[in-house]
Amino acid sequence: MSDLDDAYWAAAEQGQLVLQRCDDCGTYQFPPYKLCSTCLSDNVSWVQASGRGRIWSWIRMHQVYYPAFKDEIPYNVALIALEEGPMVMSRIVNAGDRTAACDDPVQVTFQQRGEATLPVFELA
């Protein structure tokens, strides 16, 4: 876990989904790096993301790989294409009776899991 990773989770604790944005070329990126992966500038800042995106795809995990998730099986995992461009792994919550589908619009919300606050998404 790098300092940059810590900054991402600290923002989530404050109820913010953040992304890195290059001060020079304006490109958003995730996961975070010290430099801009597009123009290699060192001037990269954290900015608040819109929290809007679409479900690129999703699965239901049935296999126990991490003991901490054993009691939640099967649980969904979704890869979200954020409006700003980057993709983030997350989960869909509050879908109710609706079945999530690829390309459905979603909005970020936050969920406590153990000591961490996770950005998660609900159908918009």
The strand pairing partners of 18, in sequence order, are 48
State the residues that interact with another protein by CB under 8 A.
Answer: 1, 5, 8, 30-31, 56-63, 65-66, 68-69, 72, 74-75, 77, 79, 87-91, 101-102, 113, 116, 118
Q: Minimum distance from CB of 78 to another protein (Å)? A: 8
Run of H or E including 20: strand 18-22
Q: Minimum distance from CB of 84 to another protein (Å)? A: 15
Q: Minimum distance from CB of 24 to another protein (Å)? A: 21
Angstrom CA distances, 7 to 12, 39, 73, 86, 118, stand at 9, 22, 29, 17, 13
